[in-house]
Structure 1
């Protein structure tokens, strides 16, 4: 009936120019890579974007360029998460993007400190922030929680156990939350990218520019951060009764985790 639509409804006309208008989106890990690209894209879609990360110099520069708000955030630090959540008046969308890989060791050569760091950043940090923002997400009346996982959360591979274990954790976290929040107006959405070439991911994992470059050598058009940002923007701008449970996105050159065409 006319006049009965919720003020938070996201059932929009396909020709709406700014589908995020009036909605606040929080993006973690927003100082570089997929996070920075997502913050930029969502600002262009009309969202009020809150950028969270540790490197405030980069964060503030990006926030100024897109008209967003930069707040310090270390998802591994409970006090940082508490302060971040306390600074927000409204949250309609949470993009859990903060994460990373820190080694490529076989299990027999496992660095347990690296394993702990990987799990803390990707899994516990994600749980910590999601838990802190859930009351605000509920209050929005039509919320979205996006988990940026990985195809590593679906398929294992040699030398990737610390990262694949953590991303499997993120995948099951998304699945579990979707079950637990069933019946509430909160969508739980998961984006699982395959090979994405960003300026820092493989460098942080492998420790040298040469090793990082070798990951993508000969691969025709690996994904870039903006490709994943495009997917994130698309899933959260569907009518709110449409839930994209899991989107797997790879470059055309990558048929599977272990099958990559190289020229």
Structure 2
């Protein structure tokens, strides 16, 4: 019987790389995201690279409760077979201090990073509990442990991911369902472009240093998922070597 992994935010970055990493482990993949064309491209790529696996797609906005509930309802039977849920979809918007910030940016971050993660978890975990098997991997951030100026609300959403991960693990105590929280530092994906709404500004975030790659995080997720069932990697903080802490980055001059 096929092993199934569901990945949110699969159309780019860590989500895309995780699909490849889990596909290499033989997982069939349920890929979700907002960009239908990107999801179709990923599915085609995976079927060529891993002809033994199956793919299913779900195109919806995880920050929209109605769209997410519609997806969960429509695919209720499929979700019963999900062995691994990777709650990857997430974003930051803006770097303004709280007193100057755009409240719309707050809503987007909270609805995506916290509510969307909760909706998807609720929709999948009940099946895992019924089967007494499964693994939920949440993509948090070092911002879920340490705060920085201009990032208070984004950090709050990732602090929430850490709290949800810990609370869920406690609620699942006595079952064989595992929960892992992966907390990366600087990763060069679309993250900074989405946050700053400017590619040149995004490029400067990683100037003079070597950030993590999406593949680095994907490999870590695959490793956690591949541990024996009696082993639960509860949380992992992952920095690039050039980043000693939030806001402490070694940069080389050209």
Same fold flag (TM > 0.5) = yes
- Displacement after TM superposition at 1:194 (Å): 0.3
- Give 5+ residue unaligned stretches, structure 2: 48-54
Match of 2:68 in 1: 81
- Displacement after TM superposition at 1:141 (Å): 3.1
Summarize the alignment of residues 161-240 of structure 1 with structure 2, pairs less than 5 Å apart.
161-198=152-189, 200-219=190-209, 221-240=210-229
SS across alignment from 2:82: coil
Match of 1:30 in 2: 10
CA distance, structure 2, for counterparts of residue 140 and residue 59 of structure 1: 29
Report the number of matched residues.
241
Given candidates 116, 121, 137, the residue that maps to 1:125 is 116
CA distance, structure 2, for counterparts of residue 193 and residue 237 of structure 1: 19
SS across alignment from 2:21: helix
Cα distance per residue 1:110-148 (max 9 Å; x no partner): 211111111000001100111111222223432000100
Q: Is the 8 A contact 1:194 1:250 kept in 2?
A: yes
Match of 1:52 in 2: 32
- Give 5+ residue unaligned stretches, structure 1: 1-20
TM-score, normalised by the number of residues in structure 2: 0.91
Cα distance per residue 1:32-88 (max 9 Å; x no partner): 010011011111110011100111110011012113222213212233223333322
TM-score, normalised by the number of residues in structure 1: 0.88
Q: Is the 8 A contact 2:69 2:119 kept in 1?
A: no
RMSD between superposed Cα atoms in Å: 1.3
